[in-house]
Amino acid sequence: MRPFLEGEAAANFGNAASLHRQGQAAKAALERARRTCAEVLGCSPEEIVFTSGGTESNYLALRAMAWAARRRWDEAKTPGMPRLAASRIEHAAVHEALRGLQREGFELAGDGHSNVGANANGQVDPAELLAACDERTAVVTLMLANNETGAVQLVADLARLLDKRFGTRPGRWWPRLHVDAVQAAGKLALKVEALGCDTLALSAHKFEGPKGVGLLYVRRGVGLDAPMGGGGHEGGYRGGTPNVAGAAGMAEALRLAEAERVSAVARVTKLRSLFEDSLRARVGDAVVHGAKAERIGNTSFVSFPGLDGPALVLALDAEGVSCSTGAACSEGIGRPSHVLEAMGVSAEFGRAAVRFSFGRLTTEYEVYAAVERVGKVVGRMRA
């Protein structure tokens, strides 16, 4: 990122859409970043759209596909409105986008809500999600790895079921499959053809890249209606001057995350298992949610019966342990995790849940130290 932020910035500060020398230098860097990201995803560089992060990528994909369907519905004089199908464990960014589309007249498949829950291990049944779909369903969305429990979702299975019922891509127009893969980069393989998706969202800070930049994969031929005007940047899908430094940093972080994925996943998963085993030995009634599911290795969502999650987070912070009550963007709203609720976890256990995260910099010493401090704080609060 440095050539676009300091030192040589005067020569590389141009708008990538400009024809002058500085603009073309910026454009070359942007396209290098696009090629690098495309190599990791196994797609064409032209199918990569740079965004400000996962929230925008999810929002752009869902709205663009919904309104593309609405336009085709109107042209064909098809009665009714296009429907959207999702699970109840999706990220708040997805739920907010769906609620906004509902206010504009779109319908949610099934019971009129984000319709499909998860089993006790935090996984959505693809067949159940498919059952919520009908011929009016335009978009199906499912995250690849849950941001609270870490449970891996069977996205490729859902894609195969959609192909079997509605016809195979690329000939099938509807429904489109969007995948929120924000939590999965650097932890799971992200080849888009293997996943069978039409669009896929990533955010750089989830794989040690810079904050405030992300990408959206848009399969060639999907034909989105761009919901954001203001210029013809990013293949016409997104207005605004591109963040060249951010894109360069994200591409390098994604390349490194994929190159080191197998060894990094093994190391972090080992640390998480050490943490959970040691924690159960220290706090006998601690409950790890999703423990029997395939999970990404960086996440452990634990309930401490009888305690208040936010109070526990603050007490642990005072002891030098940084954790959360669930999704960071949802903390402080004063209600139990919607993910645990969708899994059938009681409100009491939901209020007592705390999420711990592990990453590239986490050490074995820190794991043991954290378990010791958690045990001390839990004992003190219960006393």
Q: Please identify, among 259, 286, 311, the residue that sits at the C-terminal boundary of a domain.
A: 259
222-250 mean pLDDT: 81
Q: How confident is the model at residue 334 (pLDDT cuts 50, 70, 90)?
A: low
213-233 mean pLDDT: 81
Distance CA 129, CA 196 (A): 16
> Domain check: are 255 and 278 in the same one?
no
Q: What CATH number should be reported for the domain holding residue 342?
A: 3.90.1150.10
> Domain check: are 285 and 247 in the same one?
no
Check residue 191 and give its pLDDT.
98
> Domain check: are 185 and 305 in the same one?
no
> Domain check: are 278 and 192 in the same one?
no
Distance CA 53, CA 77 (A): 36
Task: Of 223-237, 270-284, 304-318, give the lowest mean pLDDT range.
Answer: 223-237
> Domain check: are 105 and 220 in the same one?
yes
Residue 22's alpha-carbon distances to 1, 7, 232, in angstroms, are 16, 14, 19
CA 5 distance to own-chain centroid: 28
Task: Find out whether 240 and 231 touch, Cβ atoms under 8 Å.
Answer: yes
Domain span holding position 367: 261-382
CA 345 distance to own-chain centroid: 22
237-245 mean pLDDT: 87
Check residue 277 and give its pLDDT.
98
DSSP for 45-91 reads: GGGEEEESSHHHHHHHHHHHHHHHHHHHHHHTT-SS--EEE-BTTS-
Q: How many structural domains are present in the chain?
A: 2
> Domain check: are 160 and 66 in the same one?
yes
> Domain check: are 328 and 239 in the same one?
no
Check residue 142 and give its pLDDT.
97
Distance CA 170, CA 172 (A): 6
Check residue 15 and give its pLDDT.
81
Q: Please identify, among 220, 241, 259, the residue that sits at the C-terminal boundary of a domain.
A: 259
Single-letter amino acid, residue 88: R
Check residue 234 and give its pLDDT.
81
Token pair belonging to 62: 């869902």
Check residue 230 and give its pLDDT.
56
- Per-residue pLDDT tens over the stretch 161-203: 999 999 987 778 889 999 999 999 999 999 999 999 999 999 9
> Domain check: are 220 and 369 in the same one?
no
Q: Mean pLDDT: which of 161-170, 227-236, 251-260, 325-334 is highest?
A: 251-260
> Domain check: are 275 and 247 in the same one?
no
Angle ∠(304,294,192) on CA atoms, nearest 5: 130
Q: Please identify, among 196, 228, 259, the residue that sits at the C-terminal boundary of a domain.
A: 259
DSSP for 138-168 reads: EEEEEESB-TTT-BBP-HHHHHHHHHHHH--
> Domain check: are 237 and 345 in the same one?
no
Q: Is 329 a catalytic residue?
A: yes
> Domain check: are 305 and 193 in the same one?
no
> Domain check: are 192 and 289 in the same one?
no
Catalytically annotated residue among 133, 197, 323, 329: 329
Check residue 129 and give its pLDDT.
94
Q: What CATH number should be reported for the domain holding residue 186?
A: 3.40.640.10
- Per-residue pLDDT tens over the stretch 253-268: 999 999 999 999 999 9
Strand partners, 176: 139
